[in-house]
Amino acid sequence: MVCHCISFINLKGGVGKTTTAVAVGEMLAQEHRKSVLVIDLDPQTNATVTLIKEERWAEMNRAGHTVAQLFYDKLNPHMPPSFQIEKAIVRNVSTINDGISHLELLPSSIQPIDIQEQLPLIAMSRNFMAKPLDVLKAALQPEIDRERWDYVLIDCPPSLGTVTKNGLRISTGYIIPTIPDILSTWGIYQIVDNIFGLAKDLERPISALGIVATKVHGNDLHRRVIADMRAVNSGSSLSPGLFLSRRCLTARFHKPSLFLAGLTSMQTSEHSKASMVVPTNLCEI
């Protein structure tokens, strides 16, 4: 079994990034019976409080059972580490049916806002063996290697900083949710270029799995932006495919989206020298 680690990323907030990541996780676990871990790297903690109650999150945050504690431990190597992966992962999460079997969460905290700029200093804080981009990988790779999950879904912050790159460091691919308007799509190809450069540095592919157009309306602006994205994507094997979502991507109200077909049955593009993984379907939801 191969674990697919997928980052959800956009530089613009309010585009349905977290909603898409959580909904895909819920549908993979509930409808496809896959083992899924959702990692919330976004300090807004929206994925966290969508999947567990705020009171539960507050308890875990006070106890240091969030991803923020993992980073703090690396910034303070003179202190005994507090983060424990088994205590930090919440099992059977979601507000659907009081929880979904095989859906797990590594919660976030608002504290990564403070540590984002400090992370590059890890190697200078007498923690010479720790690399800033390898913090999350060091904690999770043993669990990934023993095939604990079919999918690891990472809700990234709206930036290309060190916390986001920790998520991309373990990712096999990424998805860009976006509203099809000018502002929300402005940074898409900056994301693609940056991740391509990171993958080159890491000497392994991080595949562009697709753009998910969310909150789609039948107005002229949305139609024009979607047409533009399709035109650009059709001309390059390095560009992500485009999916449209006219309604909320959530297991609470709808049957599994055809969008999941692109994740549950992926193939390698014969036309890409980088062996990028591309969706087998380009479909409208």
CB atoms within 10 A of CB 60: 20
Give this prediction's pTM: 0.82
DSSP code for 91: P
Q: What is the pLDDT of residue 117?
A: 66
Q: What is the pLDDT of residue 237?
A: 47
281 three-class SS: coil
Q: What is the pLDDT of residue 249?
A: 45
Q: Which of 127, 122, 119 is CA-nearest to residue 157?
A: 119
User: Following DSSP, what letter does each residue of 106-124 receive, concatenated?
Assistant: E---STHHHHTTTGGGGGG
Q: With left for phi above 0 and alpha for psi between -120 and 50, is residue 147 left, alpha or beta?
A: left
Q: Is the separation of the CB atoms in 47 and 164 below 8 Å?
A: no
| Beta pairing partners, 219 | none
Q: What is the pLDDT of residue 272?
A: 32
Nearest 10 degrees: Cα torsion 265, 269, 239, 8:
30
Domain boundaries, the chain: 4-208
Q: What is the pLDDT of residue 247?
A: 45
Q: Would you state the structure tokens that stand for residue 138, as one six-digit string?
A: 């060091």
HSE (side-chain half, CA atoms, 13 Å) at 229: 29
| pLDDT, tens digit (0-9, with 9 covering 90-100), for 44-77 | 999 999 999 999 999 999 999 999 999 888 888 7
User: Following DSSP, what letter does each residue of 138-149 receive, concatenated?
Assistant: HHHHHHHHTT--
Residues of the chain with pLDDT under 70: 1, 111-114, 116-130, 232-285
Q: What is the pLDDT of residue 268?
A: 34
Q: What is the pLDDT of residue 241?
A: 60
Q: Topology of 4-208 in CATH?
A: Rossmann fold (3.40.50)
Q: What is the pLDDT of residue 122?
A: 61
Q: What Cα–Cα distance (Å) separates residue 124 from each residue in 5, 113, 134?
A: 29, 20, 15
